[in-house]
Amino acid sequence: KAGVTQTPRYLIKTRGQQVTLSCSPISGHRSVSWYQQTPGQGLQFLFEYFSETQRNKGNFPGRFSGRQFSNSRSEMNVSTLELGDSALYLCASSLAVGATQETQYFGPGTRLLVL
């Protein structure tokens, strides 16, 4: 079974631009979560989607948004990029929200550099 895939793997943008990152969960998984990892803040929760609905949101500004499609694939968008948005963005999938006996499976991440 294929793992979680994220595209693109690497991205360079300039301040003020916007970016869209994509995540394809493991087949059959319906919950997708996004995390941001930076050296200063560590791993922080961005959002969680299930059945095309955002179920939970972390403490990030409105410039960060996301969505989930009917096939469970998810995208996140960051508008008006700032230097501080440079990070590794990780996507994780699981069978369902609150699947407490299930681990979340992480993708390889998209490394975003904002110049």
Q: Using CB under 8 A, which of 23, 81, 109, 112 touches another protein?
A: 109
Residues 30-59 that bind another protein (CB under 8 A): 33, 35, 42-45, 48, 50, 55-56, 58
Binding-site residue total for another protein (CB under 8 A)?
27
Interface region with another protein, contact rule CB under 8 A, candidates 20-28, 69-77, 79-87, 105-113: 105-113
C-alpha span between 32 and 92 (Å, rounded): 6
Q: Using CB under 8 A, which of 72, 81, 107, 112 touches another protein?
A: 107
Q: How far is the CB of 79 from another protein (least distance, A)?
A: 23
Number of other CB atoms surrounding residue 39 within 10 Å: 8
Tokens coding 6: 């994220």
Tokens coding 25: 């969960």
Question: Per DSSP, which regions of the chain are E strands?
Answer: 5-7, 10-13, 19-24, 31-38, 42-50, 53-57, 64-68, 74-78, 87-94, 105-106, 110-114
Residue numbers of the site for another protein (CB under 8 A)?
4, 33, 35, 42-45, 48, 50, 55-56, 58, 88, 90, 92, 97-98, 100-101, 103-109, 111
